[in-house]
Amino acid sequence: MTRISSAPYLQQLDGLTSFERAVCQPFMLGLFMPHQQGAWTPSKAPRKTSWTFEYNAELAVRVDEAGFDLIFALATWLGKGGYGGDIHFREHSIDPFITSAALAPLTHNVLLISTIHVLYGWHPLHIAKYGAVIDHISHGRWGLNVVTGYRSDEAGMFGHEAFPHNQRYAMADEFTTVMKRLWTEDQNLDYTGEWYKTTGAFVAPKPVNGLPVLVSAGSSPSGMDYATSHADIIFATSPTGADPGKACTSLPQRIMPIKAQARQKGREVKILVNPHVICRPTEKEAQAWYKRIRDERDEVAVTNFFNAFTGGDQSSWRQHSALDWAVGGNLHLVGTPEMIVEWFVRLRQVGVDGVQVNFFDFGPDLDDFITTVLPLMQQAGLRHAMPKEESGSESHDRANAAPRGCQSD
């Protein structure tokens, strides 16, 4: 059975929206949901990670209670057997858009980011309307990761040829422009673009806080151009594979141009990376787990997964090896809680604004992270503690409190 978060409604305490609160944190923290079979890791090593709604709902509630900023759900379309192998990697998955709607009443503060392939048969009016509704159900906590689809076999499932790479981002740009107008304009919209057209379209209610949080993860010049025009949060991938030491050297070359380009457009963006965290009380234990996950990889699933990510016309993940993909995630952070936090500190120093973590055995690994890593992040100045509910009558009168803005470190 699903349970509801016991976290206080922070907006009543600090007057901030979830996104405003997230960007006040020195280092943003999100969870990559494992809502597809096997999550990020095509390995047969033992674990209880599950794609089911109940399992993911419990994780969402735990991160809400622990004060994470966001949870993120990816979208992928696969044929029978998923990426294959004995483990039928990612064959089962629950849809991120519908899942976000279902998680909204179970959580209180965390941003719910769902991924949508906007070019697979949707009209901007659909997403503008459905997204505004989820935003209302969640009281302004819904966000959208706009993806254009980097696997050409997905396009075939929707009955069309894959669109050329740059055209995909041009289409997404038009799609997003129409959505934004529907979310903000107070009159019927007539629009005729190159790919989308609408006459007399209107969306009400509008999203709760103006525009919902928009997310993007492109690496190519056109992907970056799209992201810096529209996204609030941009995922950067390591240009040098999963080794965090190398990534700390190479990431600035990826991050700085994105931030500069956004600023030229008058926009500030937050850059996140998605590390896979393998944390144990000793480094030896962490390295042993890391080795075991890789040793027990499902070779067929790894090969298919690796080929999907490194093939095609996309520019992310180009330097990741097949062995990197046996673990998954963009960087591999392996070690004690202190070592994990040290990596976070280094990532922040090179311009990363936060991480969205994924794990192997999500339930226990997340619990360990919350009890051992999170307090050290607070000590290191990476995270503010969650505001506490005050006892007595004052706390009940906070609903209309003026936003207090970011607290200083």
Ligand X SMILES: Cc1cc2nc3c(=O)[nH]c(=O)nc-3n(C[C@H](O)[C@H](O)[C@H](O)COP(=O)(O)O)c2cc1C
Query: Does the footprint of ligand X cover residue 229 (CB under 6 A)?
Result: no
Pick the binder of ligand X from 19, 235, 290, 343 (CB under 6 A).
Answer: 235
Pick the stretch among 142-150, 204-212, 244-252, 367-375 that binds ligand X (CB under 6 A). 142-150
Cis-peptide, bond into residue 221, ω within 30° of zero: no
Residue labelled with tokens 């064959």? 91
Tell me the sheet residues that pair with 193: none
Classify residue 70 by burial, with Cβ atoms within 10 Å: 0-12, 13-18, 19+: buried
Query: Does the footprint of ligand X cover residue 316 (CB under 6 A)?
Result: yes
Query: Does the footprint of ligand X cover residue 315 (CB under 6 A)?
Result: yes
Residues in contact with ligand X, shown as a per-residue x/- string from 260 to 279 under the rule CB under 6 A: --------------x-----
Query: Does the footprint of ligand X cover residue 223 (CB under 6 A)?
Result: yes
Token duo for residue 404: 């207090």
Pick the binder of ligand X from 8, 67, 218, 239 (CB under 6 A).
Answer: 218
Pick the binder of ligand X from 93, 228, 314, 358 (CB under 6 A).
Answer: 314
User: Closest approach of Cβ 77 to ligand X, in Å?
Assistant: 8
Distance of alpha carbon 228 from alpha carbon 225, whole angstroms: 5
Residue labelled with tokens 């254009």? 148
> Measuring CA to CA, which residue among 215, 307, 329, 196 is closest to residue 269?
215
Query: Does the footprint of ligand X cover residue 233 (CB under 6 A)?
Result: no
Pick the stretch among 23-31, 309-317, 360-368, 389-397 that binds ligand X (CB under 6 A). 309-317
Residue with smallest beta-carbon separation from ligand X: 223
* Residue 345 three-state SS: helix
Q: How do 354-357 and 28-32 pair as beta strands?
A: parallel
Query: Does the footprint of ligand X cover residue 76 (CB under 6 A)?
Result: yes
DSSP state at residue 206: P
Distance of alpha carbon 42 from alpha carbon 10, whole angstroms: 37
CB 333 within 8 A of CB 343: yes
Pick the binder of ligand X from 16, 59, 63, 74 (CB under 6 A).
Answer: 74
Residues in contact with ligand X, shown as a per-residue x/- string from 88 to 117 under the rule CB under 6 A: ---------------------------x-x
Query: Does the footprint of ligand X cover residue 150 (CB under 6 A)?
Result: yes
Tell me the sheet residues that pair with 216: 234
Of 2 and 76, CB closest to ligand X? 76
Distance of alpha carbon 263 from alpha carbon 120, whole angstroms: 31
Contact positions toward ligand X, by CB under 6 A?
A: 74-76, 115, 117, 147, 149-150, 217-220, 223, 235, 237, 274, 314-316
